[in-house]
Chain A
Amino acid sequence: MTEWTKHNLLDIQNLTKEEIELILNTAKSFKEVSSRDVKKVPALRGKTVALLFFENSTRTRVSFELAAKRLSADIISISASGSSLSKGESILDTAKNIEAMNVSAVVVRHSTSGVPKILAEHLEPSVINAGDGCRAHPTQALLDMFTIREKLGRIEAIEVGIVGDILHSRVARSNIWGLTKLGAKVTVCGPSTLMPVEVEKLGVKVSYDIDEVIKQSDVLMVLRIQKERQQDNFLPSIREYAKHFGINKERLKFAKKNLLIMHPGPTNRGVELSAEVADGEYSVILDQVTNGVAVRMAILYLLLGTKETIEEKQTL
């Protein structure tokens, strides 16, 4: 069995297949804790986790908060608007000040790619990336992989279709890295304006035919159309996107019987996903949320569970 040696979790790219599997296996044990009457274990008693969310979030923040609390860690939560960042303090200064208060881990989300990496280079505590710009969202990819493995029993050789705004999606990128590492066959699908150049180099197939992708997929990951990142006219209109790429009941007529429909949330009902599909038989969207807590508990445990990881600090 692999031993965990990483000090930070910045993206999926620099995890080995064995490390991903260790996280997923550990998460399986932690899922049971959330089903108990007393949903708390003392593993991280006395540790403090700082949540630095410089971009809005419901799921990820609450999920990390619950994960830390269920491990008995204390948490502090900081958002851009309620902190001194609005007075002009730099992120690094803010983070350094929080470090000075002896926290064990910093969970960071930021709309600029690379912020978690910069913090990791300057901070002693473990840094966990909770989503940076269009680059990476490793915990989302891990919980997606956990959900696939839980529902289908394996990841290897499974056909995964990722549909939507691939260009701006950190969820897509992290999932591509993770899923291909574990042997899944990934096809990305979306409007050509939202398809990154040379995306094939990540080891995926590209398709512009949504019906074909639905037909072949065991798992369909539907991405959110990020209205906040559509200022540059990538799409003629949201309605046109919904018409050509929106997943609805009609389109799913040719889907495999055991298809899983996943969505990282928040969903734009009626845009990328119709309401009846989001609440329908194939949807595992809420299972993803449940599993998110277990996966984040596993990550916090692996990063903070012991003394050594902090003393023998590994580089990234």
Chain B
Amino acid sequence: MNNVPKIMDKESIRRALMRIAHEILEKNKGTEDLCIIGIRTRGAILAERINECIKEIEGKNVSVGILDITLYRDDLTLVSHQPIVHETLINFDITNKKVILVDDVLFTGRTIRAALDALIDFGRPANIQLAVLVDRGHRELPIRADYVGKNIPTSLEESVKVILEETDKDMDQVLIETKR
């Protein structure tokens, strides 16, 4: 890891999330029936931040939930050690709600596939929209994001690293690392 280009810094992440919040409100015509569900770990933090942006714009809070998709992974029986299962916290009914699903990086689409399965087990939402901070391409499933912070074309040898203060105890930033 000798050359680590920084793709987004604290300010650009903040602006991207604010723009996504505006786009969500524009498309859904306000906050009615809206809820945000973040995918653990970093998606949950981004969901909370988008909620703060929405509050800043509209003066209203929307319900925010956290989804752990471990039990829905399609590679659960292939990985070498059991991933730690964390709690899912969705304390509201999602039936007939417009659900904004939030994750940090959109890559193969398999995480989102698992998240969609998990969400459907919680109820029948009116619709599900996807917001991601980074779309790095290389989809393996027919899935696309409705709101994208930044499109970053990558090669498969690279990995996109999203660093957020809350989880990583470091300044907000997005880096591209080359696997060696």
Partners in one complex: yes
Interface residues of A (CB under 8 A from B): 1, 3-5, 22, 25-26, 28-30, 32-33, 36-38, 40-43, 71, 298, 301-302, 305-308
Determine, out of B3-11, B23-31, B75-83, B151-159, the stretch whose residues face the partner at the interface: B75-83
The CB with the most chain A CB atoms within 10 A, among B71, B80, B87, is that of B71
Q: Is the CB of A4 within 8 A of B82?
A: yes
Q: Is the CB of B76 within 8 A of A305?
A: yes
Q: Is the CB of A37 within 8 A of B72?
A: no
Q: Is the CB of A36 within 8 A of B76?
A: no
* A1 cross-chain contacts in B, Cβ below 8 A: 84
| Nearest 10 Cβ contacts at the A-B interface | A41-B71, A43-B71, A305-B82, A38-B121, A29-B85, A29-B87, A3-B81, A308-B80, A307-B77, A26-B85
Closest to A311 in B: B80
Interface residues of B (CB under 8 A from A): 68, 70-72, 76-82, 84-89, 117-118, 121-123
Main SS at interface, chain A: loop
* B79 cross-chain contacts in A, Cβ below 8 A: 306
Q: Is the CB of B82 within 8 A of A32?
A: no
Can you list 26 A-B contacts (CB < 8 A)? A1-B84, A3-B82, A4-B82, A5-B81, A25-B84, A26-B85, A29-B68, A29-B85, A33-B71, A33-B88, A36-B121, A37-B123, A38-B121, A42-B72, A71-B71, A298-B85, A301-B71, A301-B82, A302-B82, A306-B79, A306-B80, A306-B81, A307-B78, A307-B80, A308-B80, A308-B81
CA distance A306 to B75 in the complex (A): 9
Q: Is the CB of B77 within 8 A of A306?
A: yes
* B68 cross-chain contacts in A, Cβ below 8 A: 29
CA distance A71 to B122 in the complex (A): 16
Q: Is the CB of A29 within 8 A of B86?
A: yes
Closest to B69 in A: A41
Q: Is the CB of B80 within 8 A of A43?
A: no
Q: Is the CB of A41 within 8 A of B121?
A: yes
Q: Is the CB of A42 within 8 A of B122?
A: no
CA distance A25 to B87 in the complex (A): 9
CA distance A3 to B84 in the complex (A): 9
CA distance A173 to B87 in the complex (A): 31
Question: Distance in Å from the Cβ of B91 to the closest Cβ of chain A?
Answer: 10
CA distance A22 to B122 in the complex (A): 26
Q: Is the CB of B81 within 8 A of A32?
A: no
| Residue in contact with B82 in the complex, picked from A25, A28, A40, A306, CB distance below 8 Å | A306
* B76 cross-chain contacts in A, Cβ below 8 A: 43, 305-306
Closest to B72 in A: A42
Closest to B81 in A: A3
CA distance A5 to B80 in the complex (A): 10
Question: Distance in Å from the Cβ of A149 to the closest Cβ of chain B?
Answer: 15
* B123 cross-chain contacts in A, Cβ below 8 A: 37
| Residue in contact with A26 in the complex, picked from B72, B78, B84, CB distance below 8 Å | B84
Question: Distance in Å from the Cβ of B19 to the closest Cβ of chain A?
Answer: 33
